[in-house]
Amino acid sequence: MKDLQQQVAYLQGLAEGIEVENSKEGKLILEMLDVLEAMAEHIAGLSDEQSDLEDYLEAVDSDLSDLEEDFYNDEECSCDEDDDYVEVECPECHEEVCFDSDILYDEDLIEVTCPSCGAVVFCNDESEDFDDDDDEEANKVVDIKEEKKEKKEKKQTKKSKKDDLDFDDDLDL
């Protein structure tokens, strides 16, 4: 941007050297040079602000990358961390498939398919007949349903006990 300001200054020097001030055209040229000078200064200011914004954006991007590394901890599946997901092994490709535990209790017919091979890994239709090969997988799903139900009940019991304790503490005050 310094180059643009230098070019405008050079043009102003040429205009002063040929003394164009006395004619109407000369006055017009001088005014145009003043406008060019203002534009060059404004563009230089914008360039400085742009550079500052780029530095700031790089700092924010770096901070965000650090947070992502800390939060996600480079794990592919967050099923182990969150109790609201169920993890099932695909019977075809043996890939681990995660899905929301609310599907276990949904009344509508829902089939969960493996994203790798497309095989059905879970179907919440209880009337469906399983083959002998699928008995073990069906038992796993039933066990998972029971475990989830027990966990929910335990959470509700703990919550109600905590609420009772909090209410008792309020009464003591």
pTM: 0.37
78 in a domain, yes or no?
no
Residue finishing a domain among 26, 51, 72:
72
Asked if residue 92 and residue 50 are part of one domain, the reply reads no
Residues of the chain falling short of pLDDT 50: 78, 80, 82, 128-130, 132
pLDDT score for 148: 65
Asked if residue 105 and residue 48 are part of one domain, the reply reads no
Query: Rounded to an integer, what distance in angstroms lies between the CA atom of residue 150 and that of residue 67?
Result: 34
Domain that holds residue 49: 2-72
Residue finishing a domain among 72, 102, 118:
72
Q: How many CA atoms lie within 13 A of 41 on its CB side?
A: 7
pLDDT score for 94: 87
Asked if residue 96 and residue 53 are part of one domain, the reply reads no
pLDDT score for 130: 45
Residue finishing a domain among 10, 42, 72:
72
Asked if residue 132 and residue 58 are part of one domain, the reply reads no
Asked if residue 101 and residue 35 are part of one domain, the reply reads no
Asked if residue 161 and residue 104 are part of one domain, the reply reads yes
149 in a domain, yes or no?
yes
DSSP assignment of the chain: -HHHHHHHHHHHHHHHHTT-TTSHHHHHHHHHHHHHHHHHHHHHHHHHHHHHHHHHHHHHHHHHHHHHHHHHTT-S--TTT-TTEEEEE-TTT--EEEEEGGGGG-SS--EEE-TTT--EEEE--TTPPPPHHHHHHHHHHHHHHHHHHHHHHHHHHHHHHHHHHHHHHHHH-
pLDDT digits 0-9 by tens, 69-78? 887 765 555 4
Query: Rounded to an integer, what distance in angstroms lies between the CA atom of residue 137 and that of residue 87?
Result: 12
pLDDT score for 77: 52
Asked if residue 94 and residue 68 are part of one domain, the reply reads no
pLDDT score for 56: 96
